[in-house]
Amino acid sequence: GLAGAASATVISEITGGSIPLCFFFLPNSTTLRLGKTHMDTQAILKASTNGASEFLSNAATSLVGMLYNLQLLRYAGTNGVAAYGVIMYVNFIFASIFFGYTMGVSPIVGYHYGAQHTDELKGLLRKSTIMILITSLVLTIFSEVGATFLVRIFVGYDAALTALTVHGFHLYSLSYLTMGYNTFGSGFFTALNNGRISAFLSIMRTLILQLIAIYALPLLLGADGLWLVTTLANTICFFLTIWTLSINREEYQY
């Protein structure tokens, strides 16, 4: 029950924290060592401002989620809210692939940028682009083909709710075609120590574009417009990401 969920959280935190501690405490060939800490106000301030995009993204998700539910109640009723909840569960798993890759590759991007390894930075961007393209296509195809299977895991007990959720997921899953590039683009500029551009891309994708779409699309397409909100926001932000990468190419030499 609930105690099991709490225990799972504790076990995961202990596991995640123990692995790096074992690395530092056991003999290794790297120059990385644990040492005494000291206050570096400038570094903390820079890290906080540079990470503003991630903060804005999480805050925006909460706000947009509330407005999304209000619109769903208006156009699709309580079943619409339930369907949205199921789609968000599945989306969390799929979107985590993009977030996980971005978080994993960001330190490498930052290292090569700081070391002025321009060839490595260019190669990393090119390989990441290809990997995200393949992953985006696989996730989109899997979502479209396996929508019924995925939805029935959560709401297979209700035929009407299942049909509504499957229909909504078919439309929502189109966002995976561009979601990975937008996630990576924002994280890429964070790794380059440019929190301004990263925050711009993040707030456009997760807040401004979605807020406009939440109220505009239902007027044009009814309830179906709500399932396309994320798809439209990611599509527009995809072109913004390409634009920002293009105009900053010379400055960062990637």
Separation CA 200–CA 198 (nearest Å): 5
**Separation between Cα atoms, residue 245 and residue 94, nearest integer Å:** 24
pLDDT at position 29, please? Answer: 87
What's the confidence (pLDDT) of residue 46?
83
Q: Over the stretch 35-89, which tens digit does the pLDDT of each residue have?
A: 888 899 988 888 887 777 778 777 888 889 899 999 999 999 999 999 999 999 9
Give the CA dihedral 100, 105, 107, 110, nearest 10 degrees: -140
The pLDDT confidence band at residue 236, using thresholds 50, 70 and 90, is very high
Confidence of residue 141 (pLDDT cuts 50, 70, 90): very high
Q: pLDDT tens, 205-233? A: 988 999 999 999 999 999 999 999 999 99
User: CA-to-CA distance for 232 and 219, rounded, in angstroms?
Assistant: 15
DSSP state of 58: H
Q: Stretch 10-38: mean pLDDT, rounded?
A: 89
pLDDT digits (tens, 9 = 90+) for 157-213: 999 999 999 999 999 999 999 999 999 999 999 999 898 899 899 889 988 999 999
- Where on the phi/psi map is residue 253: left (φ > 0), alpha (ψ -120 to 50), or beta? left
The domain spans of the chain are 42-252
215 CB contacts (<8 Å, ≥6 apart)? 71
Tell me if 91 sits within 8 A of 172, measured CB to CB: yes
In this prediction the pTM is: 0.80
CB 80 within 8 A of CB 224: no
182, 97 Cβ separation under 8 angstroms: no
